[in-house]
Structure formats: structure tokens, C-alpha cells
Structure 1
Amino acid sequence: MTQEKFGEKDFQTIIGNLLRYGVWTSLSVAFIGGIVYLLHHGNELEDYSVFKENDRNIFEVITAVYQGVIQGRGESIIFLGIVLLFLTPVFRVLLSLFSFFLEKDYLYVVITTIVIGIIVLSISFGFSH
């Protein structure tokens, strides 16, 4: 019995499944959040004539979403679905970094690390004013 090396094809399968299941999971969570929201607020009219800017930082937003999901608030569940949708390709980049590291492809390790740094910086500065 020969032991096969965990190869690039295996990582491609894992990455494909991550993307597929990540999208389906995030869509399911957002859909459930939409149903919950409509059950509680379906008859209300929303006023979109005034834009309300959010001045909270990323940690306050994450805390508010977490608490809202625990309380079963539909809008927080929808937002969690959106966050999961956003995180799906981020996890793909992290998995690619791990794959490149195992393959000892250090040029792509550096490039992928730069991409992760850009993502972290854009998230950090995107939520603070």
C-alpha cells in the first residue's frame, strides 16, 4: 500500500468546496435572517429619505451583530450572512497561503501574505473614520 502525498489537486478540491459551501452557508443564513426580519417587521414602512451614517469601529459592529444574532434579530442574522459571504474568499486566500507554504513556493507565500495584509488594512480603515 503506497502512501500518497497531499497534493495540489487535493487543495484545489478543498478550496472549491470551501467556496461552494461558504456561499451556500452565507446565503442560507441571510435567507433565514430575512424570514425572521419579515416575521417581526414585515408590516413596517422603512424611511429611506434620511441616510444615517454609522460611526462605530469594527469591534463595536462585530459585538452588535453577535448580540443581535443571540437575540434573534433578523437584521443581525442577515448581516452575519453577508459577513460569512465576505469571509469565504478571505478563507480561500488563507488556505492558499497554507498550500503555497507546504509546496515551498515562497514567492507566492510572499504575494499571498501581501494580499492578506491589504485585506486586513482595508477592513481596519474601512470601519474607522
Structure 2
Amino acid sequence: MQHEKFGEKDFQTIIGNLLRYGVWISLSVAFIGGIVYLMHHGNEIEDYSVFKENDRNIFEVISTVYNGAVQGNGAYLIFVGIILLFLTPVFRVLLSLFSFMLEKDYLYVVITLIVILIIITSISFGFSH
């Protein structure tokens, strides 16, 4: 019995499945959150003339969203779905990084690290004022 190496085709399959299932899972979570939200708040009228902005850091936001989702709050379940949708391509970039490292393709390792740095910087500046 011959032992096969984990190859590029295997990574492409994993990445494809990650993108496919990541989108479906995130949409499902957001859809369920929407149903829960409408069940509890469907008759309310939202005042869109006032913009509500929260000045919190990312750790407070994550904690609040997590606690709200665990309690079954529809709005936070929708937010979890959006976060999962955002994280799907981020995980794709991380998997690509490992793929390039295994292939010893160091040019693409550096390029992928730059992309990851840009993502981290964007998230950091998005939550700080």
C-alpha cells in the first residue's frame, strides 16, 4: 500500500468546499436569525431617521454578538451569519497560505501574507476611531 502525499488537488477541493459550505452555512444562520427577529419584532416600526453608532472595540462587539446569539436573539444571529460570510474568504486565504507553504512557493507565501496583513489592518481600522 502506497502512501500518497497531500497535494494541490486536495487543497483545491478543500478550498472549494470551504467556499461552498461557508456561504450556505452563513446564509442559513442569517436566514434563521431573520425568522427569529421577525417573530419577535415583525410588527415594530424602525426609526431610520436616527443613525445609531456604537463606539466599542472589536472584543466588546464579539462578546456582545456571541452572548446575543447564544440567547437566540434574531438580530445577533443575523450578525453571526454576516460575520461567517465575511470569514469564509478569509479562511480561503489562510488555507491558500498553507497550500503555498507546502508547495514551497515562497513568492505566493509572501503575497498571501501581505493580503492577510491588509485584512487585519482593515479590520483594526474599521473598529477604532
Q: Secondary structure at the residue paired with 1:49? A: coil
Match of 1:34 in 2: 34
Using structure 2 for the length normalisation, give the TM-score.
0.97
Percent same amino acid at aligned positions? 84
Q: Report the number of matched residues.
A: 129
Q: Runs of at least 4 residues of structure 1 off by over 3 A?
A: none
Amino acid at match of 2:4: E
Judge which range, 49-58 or 85-94, deviates more.
Answer: 49-58
1:114 aligns with 2:109: no
Deviations 1:10-64 (A, max 9, x none): 1101000000000000000000000000010011111101111221111111011
**Partner Cα separation in structure 2 for residue 94 and residue 82 of structure 1:** 19
Match of 1:59 in 2: 59
1:74-85 paired onto structure 2 within 5 Å? 74-85=74-85
1:99 aligns with 2:99: yes
1:1-12 paired onto structure 2 within 5 Å? 1-12=1-12
Q: Secondary structure at the residue paired with 1:27? A: helix
* Runs of 5+ unmatched residues, structure 1: none
Q: Secondary structure at the residue paired with 2:86? A: helix
Judge which range, 15-24 or 5-14, deviates more.
Answer: 5-14
RMSD: 0.8
Match of 2:19 in 1: 19
Match of 2:73 in 1: 73
* Runs of 5+ unmatched residues, structure 2: none
**Partner Cα separation in structure 1 for residue 5 and residue 126 of structure 2:** 41
**Partner Cα separation in structure 1 for residue 100 and residue 70 of structure 2:** 38
**Partner Cα separation in structure 1 for residue 108 and residue 29 of structure 2:** 33
1:88 aligns with 2:88: yes
Amino acid at match of 2:121: L
- Give, in angstroms, the shift of residue 2 of structure 1: 2.5
- Give, in angstroms, the shift of residue 4 of structure 1: 2.0
**Partner Cα separation in structure 2 for residue 7 and residue 63 of structure 1:** 38
Q: Secondary structure at the residue paired with 2:16? A: helix
Using structure 1 for the length normalisation, give the TM-score.
0.97
- Give, in angstroms, the shift of residue 128 of structure 1: 0.8
